[in-house]
């Protein structure tokens, strides 16, 4: 679903990749495809939260951390030949306003990622209101840059997003 979106991803394909039978899938996910999509979004939530925490832990300066993060995202995209984008965007966008459970899970993912960035900005000395606002824009920009890089099959949007976000963050620290 991360790659193709909700509707283009048949359950059969999922069960085959998982080396499970169709019956098993419906046994563990009685809610069907919708429940499966919610679980996929929640897993993407946790995966990216972990990446965020790791990179911010390794770089005390949040501006440097954002630069490292965009490089990491660019590497992942290029290595997958530009098909593994954000683990929730494709699923969320294809079901927006149609399947509320999935939308809710996606909104929770975005909110959690923002809170991770917020905490790091706070502990780097950024005032609370600025940190809250910046965390929101950091996540938005990362999402948009990854999307643009995927569409263009070029890491330029991610690289530039990194440098510009770093500059923006620095402007709130001085």
Partner DNA sequence: GTCTATACCCCGATAGAC
Partner DNA sequence: GTCTATCGGGGTATAGAC
Site residues (vs DNA, CB under 7 A) = 9-13, 20-24, 26-28, 30, 32-34
The interface partner of residue 33, options being a copy of itself, DNA, none and the CB cut-off 5 to 8 Å by kind, is: DNA
What single DSSP character describes residue 60?
S
Q: Is 63 in the site for a copy of itself (CB under 8 A)?
A: no
Residue 23 CA to residue 2 CA, distance in Å, equals 23
What single DSSP character describes residue 154?
-
DSSP string spanning 4-69?
T-STT--HHHHHHHTT--HHHHHHH-TTHHHHHHHHHHHHHHHHHHHHHHHHHHH-SSHHHHHHHH
| Binding flags for a copy of itself, 104-143, as an x/- string (CB under 8 A) | --xx--xx---------------------xx-xx-xxxxx
Structure tokens at 171: 């402007």
Q: Which is nearer to a copy of itself, 3 or 12 (CB)?
A: 3
Residues that bind a copy of itself in the complex, under the rule CB under 8 A: 3-8, 81-83, 85, 89-90, 92-98, 103, 106-107, 110-111, 133-134, 136-137, 139-145, 147-148, 150-153, 156-157, 160-161, 163-164, 167-168, 171
């Amino acid at each position: 679903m991360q790659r193709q979106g909700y509707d283009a991803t048949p359950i059969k394909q999922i069960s085959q990749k998982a080396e499970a039978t169709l019956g098993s899938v419906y046994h563990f996910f009685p809610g069907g495809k919708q429940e499966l999509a919610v679980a996929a979004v929640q897993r993407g939530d946790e995966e990216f939260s972990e990446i965020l925490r790791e990179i911010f832990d390794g770089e005390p300066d949040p501006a440097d951390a954002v630069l490292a993060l965009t490089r990491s995202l660019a590497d992942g995209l290029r290595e997958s030949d530009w098909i593994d984008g954000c683990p929730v965007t494709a699923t969320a966008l294809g079901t927006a306003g149609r399947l509320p459970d999935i939308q809710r899970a996606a909104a929770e993912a975005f909110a959690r990622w923002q809170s991770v960035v917020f905490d790091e900005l706070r502990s780097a000395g950024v005032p609370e209101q600025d940190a809250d606002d910046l965390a929101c824009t950091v996540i938005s920009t990362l999402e948009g840059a990854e999307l643009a890089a995927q569409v263009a099959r070029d890491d330029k949007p991610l690289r530039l997003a990194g440098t510009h976000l770093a500059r923006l963050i620095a402007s709130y620290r001085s």
